[in-house]
Amino acid sequence: MKTEPQKSEAVILTDVTLRDGLQSESKIIALEAKLELLEQLSKCQFNRLEITSFVNPKWVPQLGDSEKLCETWFRTKSTQETMAFVPNVKGCERLLSFPIPWVSCFVAASQSFNQKNVNSSIEDTLKEVESIVSIAKAAKRKVRIYVSTVWGCPYEGEINPQKLEVVFQKLSKIGADEIALSDTIGVATPTAVRTVLNQSSKYFPFSKVALHFHNTYGFALANIQAGFEAGVRSFDGSLGGVGGCPYAKGATGNVASEDLMNLFYRQKRIPAFPKNEIEKGLQLLRDRLGLPVESALSKIQERGGAWYGL
């Protein structure tokens, strides 16, 4: 059934720097530096932070310290809403030791990417996802399911809409709180975003859809605006646009969270832009974590300019 966009709802911004950003950096960041970044991100007024992954550390050594990070972080009294990624039931059980309200998990629209990422077929992954949702729900957690390679796969290229339809249909029966349509290698265009949202709206209301764009070709903000105008209100970014995709050489990180925030602030869709805290976050990324920062806002500063309207 097609659901009308809920145009009045507030925008929800999720920062995924500590998970998606750091998982693809070749450099392994020390726990103390991650905790400093987490503390700083929690001051930047994002609605949600994806803080780590409970994956096999042999697959993703960059996030091999998830328990240590959570043990320290959850000793604080922060009101920041958090989310963490799990690839399977084992990961979900590890996550449930911590008061993380959101569990995120994954399936891909393309068989090859699914296989490379979690070493199983789409069909088996959907069964795993179903188990994750039921375990997480029993523990009163919310679940986001990422659908990767919606707009293109590094191995298979364009995604056949019928294959996408099958994944949407199966996911619609699983009962997640949010479906994050993901442009893993940053190849979507605004027209393609509208087409996919039209298709997904037969299965999920826009209030349950999030958009997760990588910014390889620089189209992410245009895609986000297209998604917003269609009725989606939940969007992801990573500070400074850090990250990439280990399976697609040249693919870049998520759209920069600060550019995402600026897009909505300048259109009066969010009430504030925490300029000083964002600047401190960018400084931490550059100076403490030693990561390249790639955003429109950071480039303006590097050229000695001031941020218009902020």
Q: Which residues are catalytic, by number?
A: 245
Residue 60 touches which member of Mg ion, ligand HMG, none, C-beta under 5-8 Å by kind = ligand HMG
Kindly state the smallest distance separating residue 184's Cβ from Mg ion, in Å.
Answer: 6
Residues 112-131 that bind ligand HMG (CB under 6 A): 117-119
Kindly state the smallest distance separating residue 87's Cβ from ligand HMG, in Å.
Answer: 4
CA–CA gap between residue 282 and residue 222 (Å, rounded):
23
Residue 6 touches which member of ligand HMG, Mg ion, none, C-beta under 5-8 Å by kind = none
CA–CA gap between residue 165 and residue 150 (Å, rounded):
11
Stretch that binds ligand HMG, among 54-62, 72-80, 95-103, 276-284 (CB under 6 A): 54-62
Residues 144-163 that bind Mg ion (CB under 5 A): none
Decide: is 20 part of the binding site for Mg ion (CB under 5 A): yes
Stretch that binds Mg ion, among 14-22, 46-54, 65-73, 264-272 (CB under 5 A): 14-22
Backbone φ, ψ for residue 197 (5° rounding): -65, -35
Residues 2-21 that bind ligand HMG (CB under 6 A): 20
Backbone φ, ψ for residue 49 (5° rounding): -120, 130
Question: Residue 91 CB: number of other CB atoms within 10 A?
Answer: 21
CA–CA gap between residue 183 and residue 204 (Å, rounded):
18
Residue 70, burial from CB neighbour count under 10 angstroms (0-12, 13-18, 19+)? buried
Residues 145-184 that bind ligand HMG (CB under 6 A): 146, 148, 182, 184
Residue of 13, 38, 55, 289 interacting with ligand HMG (CB under 6 A)? 55
Stretch that binds Mg ion, among 17-25, 72-80, 98-106, 198-206 (CB under 5 A): 17-25
Residue of 17, 82, 88, 201 interacting with ligand HMG (CB under 6 A)? 88
**Of residues 90, 82, 79, 84, the one with CA closest to residue 103:** 84
Decide: is 97 part of the binding site for ligand HMG (CB under 6 A): no
First to last CA, the chain: 41
Question: Residue 218 CB: number of other CB atoms within 10 A?
Answer: 11
**Of residues 120, 93, 96, the one with CA closest to residue 108:** 120
With a CB cutoff of 8 Å and minimum separation 6, the contacts of 94 are: 54, 66, 67, 86
* Binding site residues, ligand HMG, CB under 6 A: 20, 23, 53-56, 59-60, 85, 87-88, 90-91, 106, 117-119, 146, 148, 182, 184, 212, 214
* Binding site residues, Mg ion, CB under 5 A: 20
